[in-house]
Structures are given as structure tokens and as C-alpha cells.
């Protein structure tokens, strides 16, 4: 009888919940990138040849695809403290002046974010990146008890030389799929094609596995210090990035957002936005195809 009652309740829940009209959602496009200006260095593993006529045509093609998405706001991977600097760069660009510094001009903030924003006549681009490195600054003053605890964790982990590992044979297993070298892919691709590769599930999975798997093996028993490090200073930082976007949301007015960020950040940010009832994560392939 109890099972029958539970089934009746579930049926009523489904009929009332799924029969409702879905709430409007803000579409968000998560574009994972490499850092364009770093590819200019002679010792870089990536050589984008960004300022050749061909690459600039590819940038224009990519920008036009992003413009067609019509984002109301564009979010980029610089910190809020650098907002004034990038506001000045964007203001100059709106008046026809490109950045004088080659490194700034090559950055994806300018090449993708600002070029897209200008075509859409947006007033600004917005930095939402959180950098936990400030916690190690001797001048940094914690804002509250929670912040003080996080700062202490950061300092303790930074001085921890514990080399004990658990189940290292499993953690040391190599990534099971062989992927081509990034520069080889880049040299044989347009920028749009290359960015689609950077955002492919297998590539993102490999990055996450190789970046953090070793740290998960550190410690034994209840010692999860290095796991806490990953949780706080990688996933935790991305939660902060996510929240910086939520703080800018104008629900009821905004329809679409564009986030341009380092590709390794994308999987967790995609998870956070996909779990939010007022966001709809757009398939990147649909935009860049």
C-alpha cells in the first residue's frame, strides 16, 4: 500500500512539474581558448601566426560567428582590478585606435572579445576572473573568518612537502587515448576549427586528468590536504568565476552571454551553468560550424 501511495505521489509530481511552461533562460556560449598572445613567444608550444593575413581573416570569420550569436554581455578572463585598464583599451578601439603593445593586441580579449563587442556596439567587455594568488600576498587582508581560513589553507599547503601517496599505481596510469600535438592541429586548422578541437570532450578530459590526477594521489587515510587544494584553488576559483557572472546577470533583459576563457576552465563552468535553472548552455559547434 505504501509503495502504491508513493507511485501516486510521483505521478502527481510529474504531471504538475513537467506540465508547467519552462521559465525563460539566458543562453550562454562558453568558448574555451588558448591564450593568443602567449603563442607569439618563440619558445611557445603553439605558433598561431596571428598577424598574417590568413589568420586575421580567420579571426574576422570567428568574430562574425560570435556576432551572429548576439550576446548582450561578453565576459573575459581578466580580473576586476584590471577592468579600468581594459576599459581604456576598449574605449580607444571604439575610436579607431588599436592597442600599441603587440602583446595586448594579440590577446584573445582584444582579438575576439573586443572585436565582437565593437560590432555589437556593446558599451564594454567585463572581466570576471578570480585569482587566488592574492591570498599569498603579505598585504592581503582577509575579509571575514571564512576568507581567513582559506588564506591559512593556502599558506599551509604552499609549505607542505608531504610526498606520501595512496594507490599510486592507479593514479599513475597514463591517459588512455593518444591525442595529436596541439601545434600540429593548429597548423592544419582554421582558428574556428582549432577552438572546436580545444573544446572537444576528449581534449578537455585529458587536460583535467593530467592537471590534477597526481595531486589526488597525495596523502593517505583522512589526509585530503592536496585534494582540498584542488577543490579550493581550482574548482573553488571557478565557482567564484561563475558567481562573478551571476552578479552581472540582468534577468528579464539579457538574452545571451558570451564567455571567452581558457579551455581548461570550461568543463566545470559548463557543469555549473547547466545546473542553473535560468541558463541554457549553447552548443559551441552550432555557433562555430
> For 73-99, what is the mean pLDDT?
97
Does the pLDDT of residue 67 top 60, yes or no?
A: yes
For residues 254 and 72, the answer to whether their CB atoms sit within 8 Å is yes
Q: Cα 131 to the chain's mean position, in Å?
A: 13
For residues 282 and 27, the answer to whether their CB atoms sit within 8 Å is yes
pLDDT in tens, 167-183: 999 999 999 999 999 99
Does the pLDDT of residue 149 top 60, yes or no?
A: yes
pLDDT in tens, 251-268: 999 999 999 999 999 999
Does the pLDDT of residue 120 top 70, yes or no?
A: yes
Short-list 227, 225, 231, 238, CA closest to 269? 238
Short-list 158, 128, 129, 180, CA closest to 228? 158
Distance, in Å, from the CA atom of 180 to the CA atom of 168, rounded to the nearest integer, reads 27
Q: Tell me what the pLDDT averaged over the chain comes to.
A: 90
> For 87-96, what is the mean pLDDT?
98
Q: Is the pLDDT higher at 133 or at 95?
A: 95
Q: Which residue has the cell 576563457?
A: 261
Short-list 15, 113, 122, CA closest to 66? 113
Does the pLDDT of residue 136 top 60, yes or no?
A: yes
Q: Which three cell numbers stand for residue 249?
A: 546577470
Axis crossing angle, helix 266-274 with helix 236-246, rounded to the nearest 10: 50
At 135 the pLDDT is 64
CA–CA–CA angle 163, 165, 170 (5° rounding): 140
Amino acid at each position: 500500500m505504501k509503495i502504491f501511495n508513493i507511485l501516486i505521489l510521483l505521478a502527481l509530481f510529474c504531471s504538475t512539474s513537467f506540465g508547467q511552461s519552462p521559465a525563460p533562460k539566458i543562453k550562454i556560449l562558453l568558448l574555451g581558448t588558448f591564450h593568443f598572445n602567449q603563442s607569439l613567444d618563440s619558445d611557445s608550444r603553439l605558433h598561431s601566426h596571428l598577424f598574417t593575413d590568413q589568420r586575421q581573416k580567420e579571426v574576422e570569420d570567428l568574430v562574425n560567428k560570435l556576432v551572429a550569436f548576439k550576446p548582450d554581455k561578453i565576459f573575459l578572463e581578466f580580473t576586476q582590478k584590471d577592468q579600468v585598464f581594459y576599459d581604456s583599451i576598449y574605449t580607444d578601439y571604439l575610436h579607431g585606435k588599436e592597442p600599441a603593445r603587440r602583446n595586448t593586441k594579440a590577446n584573445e580579449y582584444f582579438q575576439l572579445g573586443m572585436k565582437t563587442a565593437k560590432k555589437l556596439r556593446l558599451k564594454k567587455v567585463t572581466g570576471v576572473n578570480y585569482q587566488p594568488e592574492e591570498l599569498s600576498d603579505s598585504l592581503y587582508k582577509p575579509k571575514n573568518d571564512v576568507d581567513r581560513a582559506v588564506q591559512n589553507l593556502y599558506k599551509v599547503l604552499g609549505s607542505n612537502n608531504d610526498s606520501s601517496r595512496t594507490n599510486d599505481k592507479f593514479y599513475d596510469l597514463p591517459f588512455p587515448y593518444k591525442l595529436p600535438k596541439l601545434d600540429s592541429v593548429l597548423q592544419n586548422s582554421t582558428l574556428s576549427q582549432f577552438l572546436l578541437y580545444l573544446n572537444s570532450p576528449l581534449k578537455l578530459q585529458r587536460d583535467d586528468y593530467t592537471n590534477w590526477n597526481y595531486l589526488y594521489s597525495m596523502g593517505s587515510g583522512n589526509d585530503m590536504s592536496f585534494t582540498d587544494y584542488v577543490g579550493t584553488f581550482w574548482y573553488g576559483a571557478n565557482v567564484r568565476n561563475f558567481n562573478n557572472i551571476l552578479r552581472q546577470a540582468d534577468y528579464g533583459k539579457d538574452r545571451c552571454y558570451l564567455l571567452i576563457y581558457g579551455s581548461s576552465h570550461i568543463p566545470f563552468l559548463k557543469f555549473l551553468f547547466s545546473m542553473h535553472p535560468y541558463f541554457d548552455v549553447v552548443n559551441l559547434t552550432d555557433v562555430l560550424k
